[in-house]
Amino acid sequence: MTVFLSGGAKNGKSYHAQRISKALSRGAPLYYIATMIPHDSEDNARIARHLREREGWGFETLECPVRLLSCLDCSDSRGTFLLDSVTALLSNEMFSPEGEIDRSAPERVVRELTEFAARAANAVFVSDFIYSDAMLYDEMTEAYRKGLALCDAALARCCDSVIEVSGGVMTAHKGVLL
Amino acid sequence: MHLVIGGAYQGKLRYAMEHFGVTPELVFDCSEGGIDFDAPCIVHGERYALTCVREGREASDDFRAQRERWRNAVILCDDISCGVVPIDPEMRAWREASGRLVNYLAGEAESVTRLFCSIPQVIK
């Protein structure tokens, strides 16, 4: 089973994604795909908080900031995978630390996400709904927003359930609530 | 009139093409400036609200005054209502004018559809 979750920041997406992943795993391996590349102390604190929040859930962490399919080489694809988040994965693939932008990244990430969803027994994907603010962004930011929307739409198409989380409350746009 | 709303890049135009028979030559895109109230499909209605803010007018009043011209159209608007209140006064005025415009259009619309990750939900 595959599940796609999106919604605004701090609305409870990660909590629900962990809960759903745990429920889907039924004793089989449960993996957390860590996508964040820490850049400063704020990021380190965020990662420490996320690690604390996952304690006791039984997740094995797979560090995979880029090349999503590579984490299938060192795991059991019969397990359940939680990818949190698509937003960070695309950002890592699209923007290099040297400040270069890879415009082919969204299409590549779409292909990898789609293949990953097909190969993993269970997968839960978390993205961020960054499309409804009143701002005129620069061209690079717009390319990123458009790229993430492409990833979101591809996952919404291939996943069994598509869930919007708002204020901790889930709404199913496709499939069933879990 | 059918109103299609949702965040940026959520598949509104594709939905309008598949569902209401919109084709590219029927589309007027307000993000290029101005408006054509007679166009069968008006896209980026929220950007007309920004044009009006810059010209000191109220977009919803303009639409109200031209109702006969667009009442059979398909109108698409990005929802720009969910971010932090913008620091820039122009962006702030735009956000509010866009909200008033979408509210007015939704009230007049025969149907309102919201797109989420390309999945439509008819909300009116």
Calculate ∠ Cα B85-B89-B93, nearest 5°. 75
Q: Please report the number of interchain residue pairs, chain A to chain B, with beta-carbon separation below 8 angstroms.
A: 72
Backbone angles phi, psi at A22, to 5 degrees: -60, -45
Name beta bridge partners: B75: B3, B42
Q: What's the pLDDT at A167?
A: 83
Inter-chain touch B121–A173, beta carbons under 8 Å: yes
Inter-chain touch A134–B119, beta carbons under 8 Å: no
Tell whether B82 is within 8 A of chain A (Cβ).
Answer: yes
pLDDT band at A10 (very low <50, low <70, confident <90, very high): confident
Tell me the average pLDDT across A148-174: 95
Which residues have C-beta within 8 Å of that of residue A116, sequence separation ≥ 6? A68, A69, A72, A81, A83, A123
> With contact defined as beta carbons under 8 Å apart, do A151 and A109 qualify?
yes
Closest chain B C-alpha to A158 CA, distance in angstroms? 12
Inter-chain touch A133–B116, beta carbons under 8 Å: no
Check: CATH 3.40.50.300 for B2-122?
A: yes
Tell whether A139 is within 8 A of chain B (Cβ).
Answer: no
Residues A44-94 have pLDDT tens digits of 888 888 888 888 889 999 999 999 999 999 999 999 999 999 999 999 999
Above 90 in pLDDT, residue A157?
yes
**CB neighbourhood size of A104 (10 A):** 10
Inter-chain touch B83–A133, beta carbons under 8 Å: yes
A4 to chain B: nearest residue by CA? B117
Inter-chain touch A134–B91, beta carbons under 8 Å: yes
Q: Nearest by CB to A156, which of B84, B119, B121?
A: B119
> With contact defined as beta carbons under 8 Å apart, do B37 and B69 qualify?
yes
Q: Nearest by CB to A135, which of B7, B9, B86?
A: B86
In chain A, domain spans: 2-174
Nearest to A136 by CA among B16, B123, B107, B80: B80
Inter-chain touch B10–A131, beta carbons under 8 Å: yes
Q: What's the pLDDT at A69?
A: 97
Where b means 16+ CB within 10 Å and e means fewer, A69-79 reads eebbeebebeb
Tell whether A134 is within 8 A of chain B (Cβ).
Answer: yes
Inter-chain touch A132–B79, beta carbons under 8 Å: yes
Determine the angle formed by the axes of helices B45-55 and B89-108, rounding to 10 degrees.
Answer: 130
Amino acid letter, residue A53: E
Residues B3-57 have pLDDT tens digits of 999 999 999 999 999 999 999 999 999 998 899 999 999 999 999 999 999 999 9
Backbone angles phi, psi at A26, to 5 degrees: 40, 50
- SS3 state of residue B111: strand
B99 burial type by CB count under 10 A (0-12 exposed, 13-18 middle, 19+ buried): middle
Inter-chain touch A132–B80, beta carbons under 8 Å: yes
Check: CATH 3.40.50.620 for A2-174?
A: no
Amino acid letter, residue A139: E
Tell whether A144 is within 8 A of chain B (Cβ).
Answer: no
Residues A30-46 have pLDDT tens digits of 999 999 888 889 888 88
Q: Would you list the DSSP string of B28-92?
A: EEGGGSS--TT-SEEE-HHHHHHHHHHHT--HHHHHHHTHHHHTTSEEEEE---SSPPPSSHHHH
Closest chain B C-alpha to A109 CA, distance in angstroms? 16
> With contact defined as beta carbons under 8 Å apart, do A144 and A22 qualify?
no
In chain B, domain spans: 2-122
Alpha-carbon gap, residue B114 to B12, rounded angstroms = 8
The residue that leads in pLDDT, A8 or B8, is B8
Above 90 in pLDDT, residue A97?
no
Encoded tokens for B34: 């101005």
